Structure 1
Amino acid sequence: MPESIFDYEACLLACARGDQQALRRLYEQDSSRLLGVALRIARDKALAEDIVHDAFLKIWRGAGSFDPCRGSARGWVYSVTRHLALNVVRNSGRDVPLSDEHEQLAEPEHTFEFTARTGQIHTCLEQLDPARRTCILHAYVDGYSHSEIAQKLGTPLGTIKAWIKRSLAALRECMA
């Protein structure tokens, strides 16, 4: 039986309007998968649960900033969670004072450059073969391992690894 299609974009728009039931629906739809993404990165269940909690708070507060022109709503939800998890892992156990160079990166012209390059990655992803793009998204948005992707797509593991390696090289070249 085919899985019913969940409208992530409509759900985020409803969250932006303050619809708490929309956030509940999103939580019911993806909290377990988002926990999987956070767990793969944090490697600690309690920490991963905290990350998912914080991600849903950030999604709730930031739903109005979602821009469908810059990517899918589902991708945005997963990237919020993934970035929070990566930040927690990077920052755990170390407080490093920022240098002047790091402060400069937060200045508006650098923020604009980051935003422009973020849009560029979507253009580069669109240039990939759909099967290869799916592999990249499963690996870097959904947080799946190569073997999980191979199993999900019914494709040999070696093929998945080769597709991801070649696709990353193509993305690097496109972004340069």
Structure 2
Amino acid sequence: MTDDPIANHIANCAAGDRAAFRALYRDSSAKLMGVLLRILGERSEAEDALQEVYTRVWTRAGRFDATKGRGMTWLIAIARNLAIDRLRSRPAAASDDGLDMVQDSTPRAEARLIAQGEARRVTDCFATLEPDRAAAVKGAYLDGLSYDDLAARYGVPLNTMRTWLRRSLLKLKECLE
């Protein structure tokens, strides 16, 4: 047997071992229920799906190959595929649901032109910064890099990086006003 207890349970289920099936349910049902709830969104439907997952596992346990993956991964794949099948089989929303009355949220031509102008202004203001300062601001505020990461990247002390960012933001603010 392997170091994967779920795989061991599945292999024993393939041999018709009901105790192994109970152990498999005990060890995996909470995780599978979470997966089904997340996908289906309704507890009652997730419970029905969970029952169907274990029915499939019992009948298909012989198809499981422990050399191709872990037992829990196989179970989650079965649950996920079943949940997706259930979502696809749901009836489509009725046409009288009022969606045709919802306002189109895509920006109009005027709004797009204004946004392009603002983007051009921001780009022009970034060009007024020294290249390393501009890259540090982008790293901090667009890429989510920490001050420590940026200080290491540019080989400057932490407080120097903070000063770079603060002064760069002030310069960008002045430029945009």
Q: Structure 1 length normalisation: TM-score? A: 0.49
Report which of the two structures shows the higher radius of gyration computed on alpha carbons: 2
